[in-house]
Amino acid sequence: MMKKLIYIIAILFISSLAQAKEGVLVKIFDGDTLYFKTENKIDKCKIAYIDTPENSYNDKLKQEIEICKDIPTKVMLNAGDSATKHANKLLKIGNNYSYSTYIKNSEQICEVSLGNGITFSEKMLLDGYAVVWKVDKKQKEEQNFSSILTYAKNKNNGLWGDNSQRGEVIKCLEKISSQDSKTDKSSYESK
């Protein structure tokens, strides 16, 4: 009986960590950072489970430049612009979206529903503009997102099919993400 009670309490605690929200999209900062207006408050959301190339010079891009030494900064930013433009095709400023949130390292992490059972994270991966952000996923989720990424790579979707150095950016970003999953570097986070 005690084990059952502890199990129920644990389920309630875990489900209370994720919060369902609905809000108006007010800004697409880049391919994995969105801003929603909910109840007269602006929510900054790092998109769950994915990482996209940066479209502006910041600390995260500095780290990527250190690792991706053969790729010019301008090319890296151009790949980030491509991911941001793709996010703008998938989402519309001023539209209302349902999303769930949780907090990790004082950063709000969001998963946005696009309807029809697909999320923004899955679509960015499928279309080839993101890699799997492996920092905090459960094994089942990681397998699902890794399968989507493999499909996008095999089909040469988005940046994966770009034969210029922009295609090298997404490959380097995947390498960084894989290293982060092994070391769990929380310093390699969003802007």
The full set of domains in the chain, from first to last, is 19-183 (2.40.50.90)
Check residue 174 and give its pLDDT. 93
Per-residue pLDDT tens over the stretch 12-49: 343 445 688 899 999 999 999 999 999 889 999 999 99
Alpha helices in 116-164 (DSSP H): 120-126, 139-154
Per-residue pLDDT tens over the stretch 145-184: 899 999 999 999 999 999 989 999 999 999 998 876 554 4
What pairing do the DSSP bridges indicate for beta strands 19-30 and 107-115? unpaired
pTM (2 decimals)? Answer: 0.84
Question: At a CB cut-off of 8 Å and minimum separation 6, what does 81 contact?
Answer: 55
Confidence of residue 73 (pLDDT cuts 50, 70, 90): very high
